[in-house]
Homo-oligomer: A and B are copies of this chain.
Amino acid sequence: MTDTTDLNDMKAMLQVPLGNQIGRVHRLWRSAITAAVQSLDMTEARWTAMLHLQLLGEGATQQALAQELGIEMPSLSRTLGQLVELDMLERRPHPTDKRAHCLYFTPAGQQTLTKLIERTMQIRQALYRDLTPAAVQQLMQALDLMERNARALLVTTAAEDNL
């Protein structure tokens, strides 16, 4: 492979609507999981919040969970309200900071969580079909790079707006 080939590849790449492909995969992914857990009263936002609270550990604040999920507080706040309403989660006062809430699973939430983990792992396995661990690894690294690039870009744009 020569440099010229690389340059041509690069040009071709810029034409491809990869962003849209990413969006499509994202929607399909979430639909697949939601279909698998529909009996649990879980929507996309709900099971996502449940699973990530588990990753982060009980007692996390809403702010911490929002960061983990990469979404804004208002989006999460609404979903957490629903999960509290459904008796899946509890918001307990933060021991030192009166503004903050810490999140805990209720007993019912624990049960649901167990099923969620089980089923989502099955789905993930199906989604990774014919992909080698190395390929998945590379995929994650590439996405990570693009995520950082996008954040950097947004910061630049925001700064320009403030001139």
Contact surface of A with B, Cβ cutoff 8 Å: 6, 9-10, 13-33, 35-36, 48, 51-52, 55, 69-70, 121, 123-140, 142-147, 149-154, 157-158
Q: Which residues of chain B are within 8 angstroms of A52 by Cβ–Cβ distance?
A: 17, 20
Min CB distance A144 to B, Å, is 7
Known: A19-B26, A21-B144, A131-B145. 19 other contacts (CB 8 A): A6-B133, A9-B133, A14-B124, A14-B128, A18-B139, A18-B140, A18-B143, A20-B70, A25-B147, A27-B70, A31-B154, A36-B157, A123-B153, A126-B152, A127-B150, A129-B145, A130-B149, A138-B139, A138-B142
Residue on B nearest A10 in the bound complex, by CB: B133
B29 touches A146 (CB 8 A): yes
Q: Which of B20, B127, B138, B144 contacts A69 (CB 8 A)?
A: B20
Interface residue SS majority, chain A: helix
Cβ distance A60 to chain B, nearest Cβ, rounded Å? 15
Partner of A35, one of B33, B124, B140, B154: B154
Contact B137 A139 (CB under 8 A): no
Give the Cβ gap from A29 to chain B, nearest Cβ, in Å. 4
In the bound complex, CA of A146 to CA of B129 (Å):
8
Q: Which residue of B lies closest to A52 (CB)?
A: B17
**Whole-angstrom CA separation of A161 from B18 in the bound complex:** 33
